[in-house]
Structure 1
Amino acid sequence: MSAQDLEVLDHTLQLTHEWINELRDRLDWSSSRETLRLLRVVLAEVRDRIPHTEIAQLSAQMPLLVRGMFFEGWQPAKTPTGDRDAAHFEDAVNARLGRVDDYRGREDIAAVFATLANRISDGELRQVRHALPRSIRAFWPAETVWDD
């Protein structure tokens, strides 16, 4: 296998680092590992609450590595969940995330959504937002919201 054959891996590593670095800067955390954990957990909770078509369209705009994490553990027959409550969403993130010293709850979930708003097309974000329950849309930072 030539080095040229691995360009796709180099590119996805670079893009994944860009996503993690952006989110880490928004969070003001020192740990890239914990930043990645938060990204994975929030994406999984979003994934489990939107229709399969939106899951596919959203994932198409993610770096390959992030996309793999997004689909890891997904059980299509159990999604989308009927849970429409923001408190349950936040509780699910908290439970999946586990102990992270710097974690501040809603504020950090909003940072993930702000990162998505910077990395995913406006049209796709509108579709994802509209697929989510209104109470969960409230996690999106105001500067990233176009319409409800």
Structure 2
Amino acid sequence: MPLNFDQHAQKGNQFLNQLLVELGENSTKESAQRILRAVLRTLRNYLTMEENFQLLAQLPVAIKGVYVDGWSPSAKKKGESKKIKGFLAEVIHEEGIASWKDFSNEDEIYAAVKAVFRTLGKFASEGQMKDVEAVLPEDLKQLLRENNVSQKK
């Protein structure tokens, strides 16, 4: 079976364009890419190996590449914070020095994380998003619940 790279690129762009919509009119494609990468890298540290692979299976191929870039699944998980502020701090750490371009305060980081979660919820099944929620620390479940990401209608 031949691979259709154009189709994979199109689906990846659909994901990114949806994220741009979720982030709002002041966002750029470059900032959406940075934010997506940082949030996915942080999220994967909070999920079990099984949940990481199940979520990955539902993402467009191009987004899978972003998700696994630089990942060493056998390495010790870093996501140890049980609080939303810790998760947000890890997102900033993952984005590195470029974070000053995207965020000027904690509210903007929080809004960006929620935008990524909403976008994930549009591409992954409701059941998968419920599974993701189930393995997150209690305080972090709020990120999914606030947007009803794990409770699609």
Q: Which TM class, normalised by the smaller chain length? A: 0.7 to 0.9
Q: Deviations over 1:28-80 (max 9, x none)?
A: 13411110111111111110111101111100111111111101121222126
Matches within 5 A, 1:69-84: 69-76=66-73, 77-79=75-77, 81-84=79-82
TM norm structure 2 = 0.84
Match of 1:19 among 11, 15, 28: 15
- 1:32 correspondence with 2:37: no
Matches within 5 A, 1:36-75: 36-75=33-72
Q: What is the one-letter code of the residue matched to 1:63?
A: P
Q: What is the one-letter code of the residue matched to 2:32?
A: T
Q: What is the one-letter code of the residue matched to 1:92?
A: E
- List runs of 5+ in structure 1 lacking aligned partners: none
- List runs of 5+ in structure 2 lacking aligned partners: none
| 4+ residue segments displaced more than 3 Å | none
User: Partner of 1:117 in structure 2?
Assistant: 121
Q: Matches of 1:69 and 1:144 in 2, distance apart?
A: 21
CA RMSD of aligned residues (A): 2.1
User: Partner of 2:131 in structure 1?
Assistant: 127
Asked whether the equivalents of residues 129 and 149 of structure 2 are also in contact (C-alpha less than 8 Å), the reply is: no
User: Partner of 2:89 in structure 1?
Assistant: 91
TM norm structure 1 = 0.86
Asked whether the equivalents of residues 31 and 102 of structure 2 are also in contact (C-alpha less than 8 Å), the reply is: no
Q: Matches of 1:132 and 1:81 in 2, distance apart?
A: 10
Instruction: Work out the number of aligned pairs and report it.
Output: 143
